[in-house]
Every structure is written in structure tokens, then in C-alpha cells.
A and B are shown apart, each in its own frame.
Chain A
Amino acid sequence: MSKELIRLHDLCMAFDDELVLDHLNLYIKDSEFLTLLGPSGCGKTTTLRIIGGFATPTSGDVTFDGVRINDVPPHKRQINTVFQKYALFPHLDVFENIAFGLRIAKVSEKEIKERVMEMLSVVSLKGFEHRRVDQLSGGQQQRVAIARALINQPKVLLLDEPLGALDLRLRKDMQNELKSIQQQTGITFIYVTHDQEEALTMSDTVVVMDKGRIQQVGTPEDIYNEPKNAFVADFIGESNILNGIMHQDYVVEFFNRKFKCLDKGFASMEPVDVVIRPEDIEIVPADKGRLVGTVTSVTFKGVHYDTIVDFKGYKWLIQTTDYHEVGEVIGIILNPDDIHIMKKSEYSGLFGDYSSYSAEYDEINDPDFAEEDEEDAEDEN
């Protein structure tokens, strides 16, 4: 569980002078479930293609088990891929699609039959072996694609937004299934997605990427609780991000008030970004609050209400189970562990303001699966 399996060393990738990967360094441990998470065009798919051998980095090295594999062609790597839109062979039935890798490896007919049947039961597709692949639903095609890759017993499985084309319900089921397949087989999964919830649910390690650079690497809890900069704080979950000044260790000032926090190690009076998660904020009557604001909008979300509160012209998102009507003046209390301090970065000031609430929230929740190859997506529709 701890041995290093793949290392990406100083990877750069440029297409027509446009830098897609910018000095990327990452190592991937054996048997872990690692997710590359980021918005469209952040370089996550390119990273996956480099690991799979379908793209050669402009500079930098890829090592597998300590051996440099930059020039090893895909068919000689112990790595298999579940492609974005499955890429099942349309001229072969389900059985032959799954058996493809074994036939190439010249496995005996008897063993092929046994292993394909076993694989079909792993992905719950028994009885479908002689179906044509274009007669299958999206979820079934997905399972065939996974079976086709797993049957070769690869060291690493690459998954490129495999659940992007499925509906929400099916996506949740497949998330659980993928996670349990990964745990049973012990195969290293490298998973690419733009869906932060998917990443948090399934991964051992999450790598947040943007503009061809790694923004943060960590466990889902680390990434959520201790985001490194405004981009990560905003991309993973919802965040109110404010300008603050660190007075000394454990004391931060924003809105001209000093608050206790749990962060230290900043220079005295250093400007910082302050992250407050919407669900951590406690609403109290106005006279008991440390800050007082006016409710400007309320949206029912099922589990909670999204309440937008105006503090001196700066709008916060607060998630609460209690209903507060528009126009109500409320107070809030912040505990020291609700406040997270980040160093200023190029992303400071770009995220975390809910003044244009609806637009931004929609954008975050809207999964644009289109990704790098938007034309493909359009073809399918």
C-alpha cells in the first residue's frame, strides 16, 4: 500500500506552443485510488494519456517501477484504460470485446472462456455475452469497458471520466462498484474527473489540477478541510473567501474585527485569504452575533437552505437547516476551527464572493463533460 509505482518527473507538454502541462511532479503509490481532479482543459486527461503511452511528453520523465517508460508503446505497458466513451469494438460482441486482450496474449480457448465468464459475473453482466455492444445501455457498455480492461490483470487501470455519460443515479451506483472492485483487486486506479464529489467519495488521494499545474495533493479530507489556495477552496465544495490580515499566530483580522483561528506560521500583518465553509457558520439572533448581516436570498436545497447574507456589501453563502426569510437581520458566530487561512495566490480575489450568487453556483454544479474533445460529445447527442 505504500510502495511507489509511477513517478512523473518534471513533465511538460506543449501543443503548438501552448503549455498544457507545466512542470508536473507526482508519484503514485501501488494499490491506491488516485484521482486527477480539475476543470476542462486543466491537463488531467493529457496526464492520463502520457501514463497510458498515447502521448509523449515534450520534456520530463515517466517511470514505472523505477524504469523510465517514456518510449514504451502502449501495448507493452502493464496498464489498461477505460476510455471516456468506452471505445468498445462495434464489430465484436460482448464476449469477444472482453476476450480481446486474452486473444492477443494467446491464452488458451478454455481459459479465455473461464476468465471472461468470471469477469462477466464480476461486472454483473452474465447472460449478455453474445449481445452486440450497440444493443447495450450506457451503464452496461461501461461495465463491458471495465471488464475488458480488468481481465488483463493490469498493474494500473486508467479511467478517463468513465461515468460522465451516465445519469446521476447510475453514477452513484457505479462509484460504489468501482471503489469495491478497486479494493478487491488491489489494482492501482488512476481516475480522471471534473466532479469534485466523485473525487471525494472514491479516492485515497486527490490531485487537484488547474492550468497544467498541480494545485494540491492530499487525502479527500485534507483537500476539503485544508485547501491550499482559493482555487482549491472554491473548486472543492463551496467556500466564502475573504481578504484578511494575519496579525500574529492564531489571530486573523477581517471586516475590521479580530478572530481566533488555528493557523500559524505567517509573517506579522501578512495579507491572507480566509476560507469559511458555508456549513460551518452558525446563525444566531442579531444581538448575539459577532457579525451582523441581512438575508438577501434563500433557496431550498433539500437537506438545507442556501441562505445568502449581505455583510456590508460582501455576500456570504450560509447553509443552514433553519429557514430565515429574506430581509431578516441575523448575526453569526465563528469558532476558531471554522476559519481556515491560506496564503495569497494568483487565484486570490477570483473566487468565493457570492454577490453574483446564482450564476456561480450553477456553474460549479454543472458538469460539463465535454472536456478536451467537445466534438465527440456533440456527435453523440
Chain B
Amino acid sequence: MKTKTPAIPYVVWMAIFVVIPLFLIVVFAFTNFDGHFTLENFSNIDVFLQVFGNSLWLAFIATVICLLIAYPFAYLLAQEGPVFRKIAMLFIMLPMWMNFLLRTYAWMSILENNGFLNQFLGLLGIGPVHLINTDAAVVLGMVYNFLPFMILPIFSVIEKLDNRYIEAAQDLGANRRETFRRVVFPLSLPGVLSGVMMVFIPSISTFAISKLLGGGMSFLLGDLIEMQFLGSAYNPHLGSAISLMMLLLVVIAMLIMNRFGEGEEGAVIM
């Protein structure tokens, strides 16, 4: 309120990189190739219902798996000494230093029918297992790529948890399990919420992972949109409409999550 000047760079930034693109998407979504207003792009969207469903479902599964792995991991890590924590964090972040596509390509060659994993299984006498181009492979790719985004926020909340709350719970008769259930977990919910956001949103919109690890089998929203802009079915108007619908889905998901965490100190949405 006092000074308005410092806000200007942000306003400019937001305008160029958020507001204008969003506006263009809206314009494209509600027009046809001739530039006339139309709702056609939306009325035809039900054809892709299965893609929407599939994307939601796989993103949901990936998020749940990330949460199941990340929470115990973050919780146990927070009990360790500071040196161990630092080293563990380094190893969690290490894969992130490599290019996203490179990592996913690596998984491709591991999962292929005559890939690394199947060769190893062959040595054990277990016949080649079909791994690549399945939904499971796509979920694996999502979990592998986005797991750090679940671990980090949960870890930082648990790490900062005031030990006095835990002592107070013990003082009032709570054993370890009760202390966790009634105090530690509820107080770590803000971290869980932001972790869920940070995994769910990229998962629902990914196209590289499904393309590389899912082959033609898992066709997700990201692939669909990409196809409208860069692929064979060139139709930016339909692509924009699908993008808007996806945005709506994400917003709804976020609203539900925020409601779920109501009363917590504002979930960090990045």
C-alpha cells in the first residue's frame, strides 16, 4: 500500500507470462478457424472423456504412491542427525540434476522387452515380462520423476515441527502411535497438501512420460493437447479448449484439497 513501484516488475511479469497466454487460450478455445465465436470446441470434447478419465486416474495413482513412499521417508529422515539429513537430501536431489528426458529415456531402456531388467529376470529364469508401454510403466515414470516434490515439502514441515507439541502430547498420556496420529500427522498436513499439488499437477499434464514409457497404449491429456498443436491433428482451437478443461480440473482438485486442509496454516501452493 505504501509504495507501488516495487510491485511493477511482478505485474509486468504476470501480464506477459500468465495473463496474456491465458487470454489467448480462452480466445482460441471459443473461436473456430475463421475466427468466429463458437462453442463447438467444447461440445465435441466428450469424445475425449476416456482420455480425461485415464489422465485423472493415473495422476491420482501416482500421487498416492508418491505419498505412501514420501511420508514415511520424510518422517524417518527428520529423526536423523543433521549430517545424515544433508547427505540424504543430496541423493534425493541428484537425479534432478540430469535432464528430465534423459531420465525417462533411461527408464525406457531398462523396461524394454529386451532391456536391462528383462535380461536380469531372464538370468533368474523368469521369462521376459512385458513392462514397457503399460500404464504401470507410465505411473512408474511419474513417481520416479515427481517423488522429490512430495518428499521435500513434507520433510520441511516435519523437520520444523516444534518438539514441545510432541512433549505435550506425551505428557498428556499419548504413546508414540497416538502422538503421531493426533499431533504429528495433523500438523504435517500442510506439507502433505503442497506435496500432493506438486505431484498431481505435473502428473496430469505430462506428455513426455506417457509417450516414452506408455507408447501408444496410454494416451493422456498432455499427449492429446500436444497433438492439437504440434501433431497430426493440428487444431489449436480444440487444443485450447482441452487445456481450459484441464485447468478447470486442476482448479477443482485444488479447491477440494484446500477444503480438506481447512484450518491448517495455508497449504503452500507453488
Contact surface of A with B, Cβ cutoff 8 Å = 52-54, 73-75, 79-81, 83, 85, 87-91, 100-101, 103-105, 132, 148-149, 152
Contact = CB atoms under 8 A, between A and B. Distances in A.
A33 to B, nearest CB: 20
Contacts of B164: 83, 85, 87
A91 B264 contact: yes
Nearest to B263: A91
21 contacts: A74-B167, A75-B170, A75-B172, A75-B173, A81-B167, A81-B171, A83-B171, A85-B164, A87-B162, A87-B164, A87-B165, A90-B265, A91-B187, A91-B264, A100-B169, A100-B172, A100-B182, A101-B172, A104-B173, A132-B263, A152-B173
Contacts of B171: 52, 54, 74-75, 79-81, 83, 149
A87 B170 CA distance: 12
Contacts of B169: 89, 100
Contacts of A53: 170
Interface of B: 162, 164-165, 167-175, 178, 182-183, 186-187, 189, 263-265
A89 B174 contact: no
Contact of A105 (B173, B187, B189): B173
Contacts of B187: 89-91
A149 to B, nearest CB: 8
Nearest to A96: B182
Contacts, number: 65
Contact of A80 (B172, B174, B265): B172
A132 B178 CA distance: 22
Ranked nearest first, the 7 interchain pairs of A and B with the lowest CB-CB distance are: A87-B164, A101-B172, A87-B168, A74-B170, A104-B173, A91-B186, A81-B171
Given A85-B164, A87-B165, A90-B187, A73 B170 contact: yes
Nearest to B167: A54
Contacts of A101: 172-173
A133 to B, nearest CB: 12
A312 B165 CA distance: 57
A103 B183 CA distance: 13
B175 A75 contact: yes
Contacts of A148: 172
B261 to A, nearest CB: 10
A83 B167 contact: yes
Contacts of A103: 182
A79 B168 CA distance: 12
Contacts of A104: 172-174, 178, 182
A100 to B, nearest CB: 5
A53 B166 CA distance: 13
B70 to A, nearest CB: 21
A69 B213 CA distance: 59
A155 to B, nearest CB: 13
Nearest to A158: B171
B167 A87 contact: yes
Given A89-B183, A104-B174, A148-B172, 6 more contacts: A53-B170, A54-B170, A75-B172, A80-B171, A90-B165, A90-B187
Contacts of A80: 171-172
A55 to B, nearest CB: 10
A154 B171 CA distance: 11
Contacts of A81: 167-168, 171
A152 B172 contact: yes
A70 to B, nearest CB: 16
A89 B165 contact: yes
A103 B178 CA distance: 10
A91 B187 CA distance: 7
A100 B165 CA distance: 12
User: Which residue, of B165, B173, B189, has the highest number of chain A Cβ atoms within 10 A?
Assistant: B173
A73 B178 CA distance: 14
A88 B182 CA distance: 13
A81 to B, nearest CB: 5
